[in-house]
Amino acid sequence: QQQVKQSPQSLIVQKGGISIINCAYENTAFDYFPWYQQFPGKGPALLIAIRPDVSEKKEGRFTISFNKSAKQFSLHIMDSQPGDSATYFCAASKSGATNKLIFGTGTLLAVQP
């Protein structure tokens, strides 16, 4: 019940296209859902995060869509650029006594010029 399932494992998108990465969770107590971006040999960097009181959050070209009833959330990257090529991780946590993030297994995105 603690798992976060992420798909696809890898994704190839043409420059200017839309990249979509999906995550699903089981624990309905989760109330914080961040996305991290990681370049090779670097630590993950927080990209965007959402809480379940909203269904969508947009920051620039990055949008999180959240479906509470389906227990799913997704990252959309509009107008994908070669510089977006990285590994993306979704995560989830439950506020309260601890803030342990449960991570998905990651999606390797390659944006072709």
For position 89 contacting another protein by CB under 8 A, the verdict is: yes
Instruction: Find out whether 15 and 109 touch, Cβ atoms under 8 Å.
Output: no
DSSP 8-state secondary structure symbol assigned to residue 84: G
Place of tokens 């699903």: 24
Distances (CA, A) of 60 to 31, 57, 80, 109: 23, 10, 12, 18
Q: Which of 11, 17, 20, 49 binds another protein (CB under 8 A)?
A: 49
Closest distance of CB 16 from another protein, Å: 29
Q: Which of 15, 42, 58, 68 binds another protein (CB under 8 A)?
A: 42
Q: Which of 46, 56, 79, 82 binds another protein (CB under 8 A)?
A: 46
87 vs 101: CA distance, rounded Å = 17
Closest distance of CB 47 from another protein, Å: 11
Binding interface with another protein (CB under 8 A)? 4, 6, 9, 32, 34, 36, 41-46, 49, 89, 93, 95-101, 103-106
